[in-house]
Amino acid sequence: MKLFLLYLSTFLTLNLSGQMNLKPLDLKPYNKALVWRGFKHLWSYNHRINRLGSFVFLDSLTPKGKHFSATGLGSDSTFYNLYYSYIESPNLKFFQGEAKMLVTGKETQLMTNSEEFSVLVPEWFQNLPRYKSIINGFEIKSLEKADQPVLFEIHIDDPYYSAQSKEVKFTSRFNLSTNCRSAECAILKNSSTYEVTIHYLIIGYEIKEAIAFEVNNKNAYSWTTTVESKFLPIRKTVEILPNDYESAFIGIKSLNFVLNEEQWLQELYYIASINNYNKPKGTADIQVEMHFSGWKDGMKKLAVSKKEAMFSNKKPGWVSMGLNSVVFQFKQGTVFDSKVQGSMFWPGRERKANNNEGVDVKILPIKN
């Protein structure tokens, strides 16, 4: 019995000693972030764009997501998915914010704006060896009238730190072209003005603790008035660095599409995912989904507002789309990937885009 008690005492002492040596990760609020991986947006029938977008953010460490949706003349319901990752890591420091840009001009013309933003950052985010920026969502909003898109692009450059001003500086670009030739469009008014809010996440890190790789993705296809476009995701295996990095996540660097001519929008996808991360091999199987749809077969029968959907139209066309992504590897920490679904209703009737009915807010789960 004495021998057994001595063995038990020794066993408990060793285990308790071992547990005491296993220190939890020393995490600060700035070591945690939500990363936007894109969205799916669907109206029950096709429309001009009055307001559109989604983003994620931590609101005093409460994880939240927003989706924006507003059509022009016709009322309709929106059905959406929002994709995100929750990251915790002592190797990464996160700084979130937003940048507003305005473009204005004539229909069919390229409206473009490129601006440098300077952000005064706290001491814990100053003078880090590496900075990388990603888009954590966007909101595009009409300040005049709803138009049909022709070209759309948002991009954010990597930032640099100014020791003199203690600011992080980066350049962002917003390109847009629109037109409106359908029956509900004003005949004598061909000007267009849109505001975009780019929600950004800047990531700071030490060179030996994390690394980032950019991956470009493109998709192009066409459709007719009788044959819908086929939705095919892009799958790639990205070879990065083996062994040293415990976890990985993917973010979005830029989004764009260009159409053959102005089109009504019914459905828009932009989603980036890592399906499998292999630490020993240093590979990440990524999947990127990009899709623009101007119509779906039978949409008039399935429309929420059937009377208004009687005037919806089909147009042949083509689209070229791009999503440039960033794969991050880091030594310690966790990644939780998830998505949420939502729906909302917009009354239409050329209502102003900044109406609160065009916004849906959700608290996001961040653990299984």
The single residue listed with the structure tokens 């450059």 is 157
Residue 45 falls within a domain, yes or no? yes
Structure tokens at 140: 């595009």
The answer to whether residue 32 sits within a structural domain is no
DSSP string, 174-192: EEEEEE--STTS-TT--EE
> pLDDT tens across 210-231, in order?
999 999 999 999 999 999 888 7
The partner residues of 265 in beta bridges, in order of sequence, read 47
Q: What is the mean pLDDT of residues 343-349?
A: 94
The answer to whether residue 52 sits within a structural domain is: yes
Contact 212, 326 (CB under 8 A): yes
Which residue, among 231, 253, 236, has the nearest Cα to 37 in the 3D structure? 253
Does the structure show a pLDDT above 60 at 17?
no
Predicted pLDDT at 350: 87
CB-based contact 103:115 (threshold 8 Å): no
365 assigned to some structural domain: no
Q: Residue 10 falls within a domain, yes or no? A: no
pLDDT of residue 319: 97
96 in Cβ contact with 201 (< 8 Å): yes
Residues 6+ apart with CB under 8 A from 8: none
Q: What is the pLDDT of residue 287?
A: 98
Domain hosting 58: range is 37-349
CA separation for the pair 132, 159 (Å, rounded): 7
- DSSP-assigned letter for residue 163: T
- In this model, does residue 315 exceed pLDDT 50? yes
Question: What's the one-letter identity of residue 112?
Answer: T
- Quick check: is 31 in a domain? no
Alpha helix positions (H), 22-160: none
pLDDT in tens, 263-305: 999 999 999 999 999 999 999 999 999 999 999 888 999 899 9
pLDDT bracket for residue 187 (50, 70, 90)? confident
Question: Which residues share a beta bridge with 78?
Answer: 43, 344
- Check pLDDT > 90 for residue 98: yes
Inside any domain, residue 18: no
Write down the pLDDT at residue 25.
Answer: 67
In the chain, how many domains are there?
A: 1
What mean pLDDT is predicted for residues 126-134?
Answer: 98
Give the angle subtended at the CA of 254 by the CAs of 230 and 284, to the nearest 5°.
75
**Residue 300, in any domain of the structure:** yes
Query: Closest Cα partner for 360 from 154, 16, 128, 52?
Result: 52
